[in-house]
Amino acid sequence: MINLIRDSLGCYGGNNMAAAEAGVIPGWLTILLITLAGVALAFFLKSRREKQQERGKRRQEALVIHFRDLRVKVIDEIIAKTSHLSITLGQLTFGTESRFPPKYSFEEGDNYTSFKYHFSEEFAQWGNLKKEILELNQKYKELPDIERRFGELKKMQANQRPENWESEHAKYESDFKERSIAFREEFEKANLQKECISLSRSLSEKIDDITKYGMGKEFKKIKNCPICNKFH
């Protein structure tokens, strides 16, 4: 190193040569080396900052796609279902559905798991609401059959009626009225319609906030989310 410095300083006179021989780097060269180091550091920091910005941009774009898929495949489904709860054929159902299934198709896969972590409160509300509806339907599981048979008896023409038609009709009519009233009273007492409206409103408001304030604030990367974990 000293030899290299000595050779490079040959044209600068004896003093510089003597300094090089002594292993001392002249002040001007020290300044030059510091300047070069500063330039290299600045270039490195700029390159790293650009890479971080590019990575942040890709992550932001991925979040937008993630939120869009989550909304279409899960959230919009729940909002649509909880907009109205009705009694159909002696059972509670969402909207105009003919029955209330124990599980919906959208409750499978990574998007539904993601909903659990990004919207934990609403996920719990949805689970509790379904549980209450299923329990009430199970408690009055015989009501649909009673209603169906009572309807069949009412529609029978006189020449089609069996000998015990009157007693059977009276029995099913009494059972249907009694159980229907009890079912509706429990339904109203449980405030399930109110819970539906509350859940639907909560999800709608959160979607509006996310849309308004953007990604990374109201909707951000979460550690346990299986889709967020795919982001780089």
Structure tokens, 62: 């991925």
Average the pLDDT over 126-139 and give the result: 95
If pLDDT is split at 50, 70 and 90, which confidence band does 39 have?
confident
Position 151 in a domain: yes
If pLDDT is split at 50, 70 and 90, which confidence band does 228 have?
very high
Average the pLDDT over 67-88 and give the result: 93
Cα–Cα nearest to 66, from 31, 113, 131, 102: 113
Position 11 in a domain: no
Q: Residue 146 belongs to what domain range?
A: 56-230
Q: Which sign, positive or negative, has the C-alpha torsion 53, 58, 62, 65?
A: positive
Burial class (CB in 10 A: 0-12, 13-18, 19+), 194: exposed
Position 144 in a domain: yes
Position 31 in a domain: no
Instruction: Tell whether the model's pLDDT for residue 111 goes beyond 50.
Output: yes
Q: Quick check: 137 and 101 in contact, CB under 8 A?
A: no
> What is the per-residue pLDDT across 3-35, written as a single tens digit (0 to 9) for each?
444 454 444 444 554 544 555 667 777 777 777
Position 25 in a domain: no
Position 30 in a domain: no
Instruction: Choose between 19 and 93: higher pLDDT.
Output: 93
Position 23 in a domain: no
> How many Cα atoms are found within 13 Å in the side-chain-facing hemisphere of 68?
6
Instruction: Tell whether the model's pLDDT for residue 194 goes beyond 60.
Output: yes
Instruction: Tell whether the model's pLDDT for residue 215 goes beyond 90.
Output: no
Predicted pLDDT at 155? 93
| Dist. CA 80–CA 199, nearest whole Å | 11
* Domains identified in the chain, total number: 1
Position 18 in a domain: no
Average the pLDDT over 42-69 and give the result: 75
